[in-house]
Amino acid sequence: MLFHRRAFRSGRRGRAPGGGPSSHTRTRASSSPQAGNAARGPSGVLPGGGAPAPPRMSAVSDAPDPPPGSSPEARWAHGRVQSALAAGPPERVVGVMVASVDFRAAVAGRSGGLSSEADRELLRAWRAASDLLLVGARTLEQERYGALVTPAQSASRVAAGRPPVPPIVTLSRGFDLDLDQVLGYDEQLDVTVYTEADVTAPAGRPSVGVVRLARLTAAAAIAHARREAGATRILCEGGPTLLARVAQSGLLTDLSLTVSPLLVGHGPVVLADFEAGEPRRLALHDVHRDGDFVFLHHRVSG
């Protein structure tokens, strides 16, 4: 686990996926496990002349069984994630979103008003099973990030040789990120910011790292994180803008969409900016109803 984290943090200088320069600065050595309720709101060195073997990454069986006494929602969420992971290739980019019936992605600026206990458990189960969380810059600012997984999920990850909490990767071209807001709920949040700006890791923010790419795209950031961090299973938590770019890149393998029984009428729309030359046919892996909520899981590719 230590190698895994140190390797991503120490980074590697080389060429960016877009062919331009990349730099990667990390300063922090560890982050603490986090507990409780989450807002619905990173890793390895490339082989090349005696480089160490890639760190141990996720296996389906790494995801912890819910502890005895867990809620039915937590048990369902665990089973659903396991079933989805067992049904495809190891390398995944999974989008997880909740939307109203009119496909709005937020109520009063946040997703919490759309969610339910089962939906929160599903998000935690996906996080617990993931190597890395890809989160949009505006989402990181607006949702209260912290308490990403339960203490039991953290403990099981550590027992499996993985970081207690999956690190977060975000994209901000100009590094226009309000770090006070991002770290307002948990100042230890392990965040790597991919940017085009010529900046270094911010002083006094030991948990924040910076990777500079000559041309910042979702695909370039994912490729870099896969290569440098050895991240196999990536969870894209939105927001709508980032998820649309990830879907457009063709890298999205799964979409877990919770349909919330609300008509909201305003606010961001899930996948509103998605553009494709041809309609893309998806495969429905699972559908589940919990009260008035519907949980869809589609395989997108792979």
Judged by the rule CB under 6 A, the positions of this chain that interact with ligand NAP are: 40, 97-99, 105-106, 109-111, 114, 136-139, 142-143, 171-174, 176, 216-218, 237-242, 245, 268
For the bound state, the minimum distance from the C-beta of residue 221 to ligand NAP, rounded and expressed in Å, comes to: 7
CA distance 105 to 11: 34
For the bound state, the minimum distance from the C-beta of residue 276 to ligand NAP, rounded and expressed in Å, comes to: 16
Phi, psi angles (nearest 5°) of residue 233: -110, 110
Q: Between 128 and 137, name the residue whose CB sits nearer to ligand NAP.
A: 137
Strands (E), the chain: 14-15, 21-25, 92-100, 132-134, 168-171, 191-195, 208-213, 233-236, 254-260, 283-290, 293-299
For the bound state, the minimum distance from the C-beta of residue 263 to ligand NAP, rounded and expressed in Å, comes to: 15
CA dihedral 266, 270, 273, 277 (to 10 degrees): -140
For the bound state, the minimum distance from the C-beta of residue 259 to ligand NAP, rounded and expressed in Å, comes to: 11
Q: Between 73 and 119, name the residue whose CB sits nearer to ligand NAP.
A: 119
Q: Between 33 and 136, name the residue whose CB sits nearer to ligand NAP.
A: 136
Q: Between 110 and 120, name the residue whose CB sits nearer to ligand NAP.
A: 110
For the bound state, the minimum distance from the C-beta of residue 189 to ligand NAP, rounded and expressed in Å, comes to: 15
Nearest to 39 by CA among 136, 132, 110: 110
Q: Between 82 and 217, name the residue whose CB sits nearer to ligand NAP.
A: 217
Q: CA–CA distance from 203 to each of 27, 196, 207, 212 (Å)?
A: 10, 19, 10, 17
